[in-house]
Structure 1
Amino acid sequence: MKKYLIAIITSFSFFSSSYAQEYNAINLTESPLYVDSLQMKWVDEKYNSLSLDEKVGQLFIVAAYSNRDAAHEEEILKLIQEEKIGGLIFMQDQAVKQIDLTNRYQSTSKIPLIIGVDGEWGLAMRLKGVERFPWNMTMGALEKEDLVYQAGVQIGKQANRMGIHFNFAPTVDVNVNPNNPIIGNRSYGSDAKNVGLKGSAFMRGQQSMKVLASAKHFPGHGDTDQDSHKTLPLISANKSDLEKYHVAPFRELINNGVQAVMVAHLNVPALEPDPKIPSTLSKKIVTDYLKGDLNFKGIVITDALNMDGVAKMFAPGDVDYKAFLAGNDMLLFSQGVKVGKQKIIAAIEKGEISENRLAESVKKILMAKYLVGLNNFQPLHANNVFEDLNSEQNSALTYKIYEEATTVTKNSNNVLPITDVTAKIAFVPLEQTDYKIFHDHLKKYADVKLVKIDNASQINKLNEFDYVIYGAFLSNETVYKSYKLSATSKAILKSTPADKKSILTLFTSPYGLKDLDLSSIDGVVVNYQNTDQTKQIAPQIIFGAIPAKGKLPVTVNEKIKYGDQVKTQAIQRLGFDEPANVGVEKKN
């Protein structure tokens, strides 16, 4: 019996030591988080002052809310004080309360907390009363990257104002599937190079404001019709295609110094053959491929660990432990901090995980905290917070992005711009009824009549007109709203008389063109989003006050493809703009 016990212990010891020896430490001065020797001195001092329990606590980020009760706030305080967590992700939704809570939480933490947020289109993604920046799909239509860089800067300024150090953006998934339920408008498009260039520009802008950027969702969530919040999506591409079409933007950002990469919950057979191991929990994907093959030396952070892509498979705490084993540095949205910590500590004490492996993750986290200024945390104030978050510069930049992105994909017989303002012109609204701003701006150029058509049988209402301008207005409420036009709208467009000069202006994703019969339509203008600003811009392009410059960021179908672009010319007509774009201060 003793011989067998000795054999078992020896075998276990061999397994533990070989696992520990498998870890290869990186040179932290080569990390994109590295600042200088003073940073490393601070990092070493803080690291050496922490107990093992406190070091492991730094790995965990938990969700905090500004619209919940005192019990929730006490729960967060308890995690900070007893479990020594490393950071928080604020989810929603009150800016002033969030500032108050940030000050309160920071004051109780031995090591300042890193505060994160999902702010892909600015803090409007999580905070009420804050104006949105354009979605990535819109910015993907820009010919150049300078406005994307500026958006990164301005969102970085918003984060600075709210004491946020880590924005989980940009999304650099290449959206090649129009039926993708979770990425869609969050993607810069269906071309890997364009996505990489736009994502890099955003990242550089944000990081210039000392806000950590996180390229997500590695190794690419764009080629699926499933949502990892609800299930474990399959990415079926072979390794060659995966790298060419989906990993390429991540490689671009890594080469340009992105400070963090977020790993998605995906089934990726090309990189991890075991379908029971999600990418987040795969050592082959996180350690061997991302850290090894791609040589990434920044922070590797999990996607939220409460998502069903992993949460249905593994219990809270256990999933955290497995994610750390795989090679992740930060464990986002943990729902089992205490259990997860105990499992990681036990594995270290048994020699299954080396302390050097822990040191690398914790020191990278401390490097990030120094980089964003948490070595000298200053309390926040709420004075004029909404004026700061909704600055004139933000509004002007948003307007400029919409203007430069607006894309003409069809212009038969040079129907655009309309030069004859004495012609009889009808405006037919489709879908929603929020068309007043658009119609008012059309009327600034010509006597454009509103004609309401309820179904295709009423198309004879257009008989007396020379031109018909259709406006398809779909919901801009959230990034996930459907882009599909109704059967009634499709039938009206299809029945457009051939003798009419017709223009469709689409106020939604370009995927809205996917199943339209546009054979009777002469001109197509894609505005990407349904906002007050886009409804002011589209009429200017239709009548030639400004040129169309945008380029289609996605392949929609066999006829409408990535890169489609018809440039139109301005023809000496009065245009409109935000005051800040023309050097005028807005007066209240």
Structure 2
Amino acid sequence: MIKKNFSYPSIFDLTQEDKNWIENTIDNLSLREKCAQLVIPWVLGNFLSEDSAEYRRLERLVKDLKVGGLIFFSGDIMNQAVLTNKMQALADLPLLIASDFERGLGMRLKDGLEFPYAMALAATGNLTLAFKLGKAIAEEARAIGVHQNYAPVADINNNPENPIINIRAFSEDKKIASDFCSAFIKGTTSARVLTTAKHFPGHGNTHIDSHLEIPTIKGNIKSLLQNELVSFTASIKAGVHSIMVGHLGIPGIEKNSKLTATLSQKV
């Protein structure tokens, strides 16, 4: 759905030795271990006694199943950092640590700094602020061991009754949303943190929370390319490192009503 002729900047300056290590490491993994590298279970960044069932669960996931990373959802700064360091020490391969820090660490961590919502940022009309915000959040994320921020929200909020995206999106205007997504991505990348544009192919035009039900997004490929996908295309051009797919029904593309965008090959 999105053209492939983009140059793609790398966040890492890899030496040939680095590349050789990566290739050799992957070659020496079993199929099961390769599959496990694609799994990133969620974890709470609260204090965990090493005798607790939750700590033992994490220990099994990291040591025995050899998952690829962890995503932290809530807690506090110190305990998340401590738990991250413990799990990294247990892992055979470095863990990819991720969090939802759309508007700063305070979105997930009770003692973290929380910035304004994306729509408030876009209301300033200042793209430099968007760059600086992405960079500031990334610097704080790296300080506690987070490598990937599941942000920005690239949805175009073209339904004012949207209960889940709403002011998390930069704008109902596709150009404004695209410009601010791009600036945020570039700022984050400048501080060497990975970015994620979400929720593909666009979660803005719905009045349903996809955490509770499956929203239906109207339109075909042509209309999506002209509207919802504009900000995702811009994000890719800006160097976004991943795309998060939304749990969305797209009947204009996927006729099977049982397949959401997350499961549809057509989408």
Q: Whole-Å Cα distance in 1 between the matches of residues 10 and 174 of structure 2?
A: 23
Which runs of no fewer than 5 residues in structure 2 stay unpaired? Answer: none
Q: Whole-Å Cα distance in 1 between the matches of residues 11 and 125 of structure 2?
A: 30
Q: Is 1:47 aligned to residue 26 of structure 2?
A: yes
Q: Is 1:184 aligned to residue 166 of structure 2?
A: yes
The residue matched to 1:223 in structure 2 has which SS?
Answer: coil
Partner of 2:192: 210
Partner of 1:266: 248
Partner of 1:65: 44
Q: Whole-Å Cα distance in 2 between the matches of residues 111 and 36 of structure 1?
A: 17
Whether the 8 Å CA contact 1:166–1:213 is kept in 2: the answer is: yes
Q: Whole-Å Cα distance in 1 between the matches of residues 47 and 247 of structure 2?
A: 28
| TM-aligned CA distance change 1:186 to 1:30, over 3 Å | closer
Counterpart amino acid of 2:29?
L
Q: Whole-Å Cα distance in 2 between the matches of residues 237 and 140 of structure 1?
A: 26
The residue matched to 2:199 in structure 1 has which SS?
Answer: strand
Relative to the length of structure 1, the TM-score reads: 0.43
Map 1:110-509 to 2 at 5 A: 110-285=92-267
Identity %: 37
Q: Whole-Å Cα distance in 1 between the matches of residues 12 and 113 of structure 2?
A: 33
Counterpart amino acid of 2:129?
L
Whether the 8 Å CA contact 2:209–2:215 is kept in 1: the answer is: yes
The residue matched to 2:54 in structure 1 has which SS?
Answer: helix
Q: Whole-Å Cα distance in 1 between the matches of residues 62 and 104 of structure 2?
A: 27
Deviation at 1:30, TM superposition (A): 6.0
Structure that is richer in helix per residue: 1
Q: Whole-Å Cα distance in 2 between the matches of residues 144 and 124 of structure 1?
A: 22
Relative to the length of structure 2, the TM-score reads: 0.92
Whether the 8 Å CA contact 1:224–1:235 is kept in 2: the answer is: yes
Counterpart amino acid of 2:163?
P
Q: How many equivalent residue pairs? A: 258
Whether the 8 Å CA contact 1:58–1:87 is kept in 2: the answer is: yes
Deviation at 1:142, TM superposition (A): 2.1
Deviation at 1:135, TM superposition (A): 0.6
Deviation at 1:40, TM superposition (A): 2.2
Q: 1:83-111: CA deviations, max 9, x gaps?
A: 11000001111211111111110011010
| TM-aligned CA distance change 1:100 to 1:34, over 3 Å | closer
Q: Is 1:108 aligned to residue 81 of structure 2?
A: no
Q: Whole-Å Cα distance in 2 between the matches of residues 208 and 73 of structure 1?
A: 34
| TM-aligned CA distance change 1:62 to 1:30, over 3 Å | same
Q: Whole-Å Cα distance in 2 between the matches of residues 32 and 81 of structure 1?
A: 30
Deviation at 1:131, TM superposition (A): 2.5
Q: Whole-Å Cα distance in 2 between the matches of residues 37 and 227 of structure 1?
A: 44
| TM-aligned CA distance change 1:31 to 1:283, over 3 Å | farther
Q: Which has the larger radius of gyration?
A: 1
Deviation at 1:239, TM superposition (A): 2.5
Counterpart amino acid of 1:60?
V
Q: 1:486-526: CA deviations, max 9, x gaps?
A: xxxxxxxxxxxxxxxxxxxxxxxxxxxxxxxxxxxxxxxxx
| TM-aligned CA distance change 1:95 to 1:30, over 3 Å | closer
Counterpart amino acid of 1:41?
N
Deviation at 1:46, TM superposition (A): 1.4
Q: 1:364-386: CA deviations, max 9, x gaps?
A: xxxxxxxxxxxxxxxxxxxxxxx
RMSD: 1.7
Q: 1:285-329: CA deviations, max 9, x gaps?
A: 1xxxxxxxxxxxxxxxxxxxxxxxxxxxxxxxxxxxxxxxxxxxx
Partner of 2:74: 92
Deviation at 1:263, TM superposition (A): 0.7
Whether the 8 Å CA contact 1:32–1:258 is kept in 2: the answer is: no
| TM-aligned CA distance change 1:33 to 1:71, over 3 Å | same
Counterpart amino acid of 1:67?
N
Q: Whole-Å Cα distance in 2 between the matches of residues 30 and 158 of structure 1?
A: 25
Q: Whole-Å Cα distance in 2 between the matches of residues 182 and 257 of structure 1?
A: 26
Which runs of no fewer than 5 residues in structure 1 stay unpaired? Answer: 1-25, 286-588
Whether the 8 Å CA contact 1:80–1:105 is kept in 2: the answer is: yes
Q: 1:237-272: CA deviations, max 9, x gaps?
A: 233221111000000111121111111110012222
Counterpart amino acid of 1:61?
I
Q: 1:127-165: CA deviations, max 9, x gaps?
A: 012221111010111223000000001001111111000
Whether the 8 Å CA contact 2:8–2:237 is kept in 1: the answer is: no
The residue matched to 1:74 in structure 2 has which SS?
Answer: helix
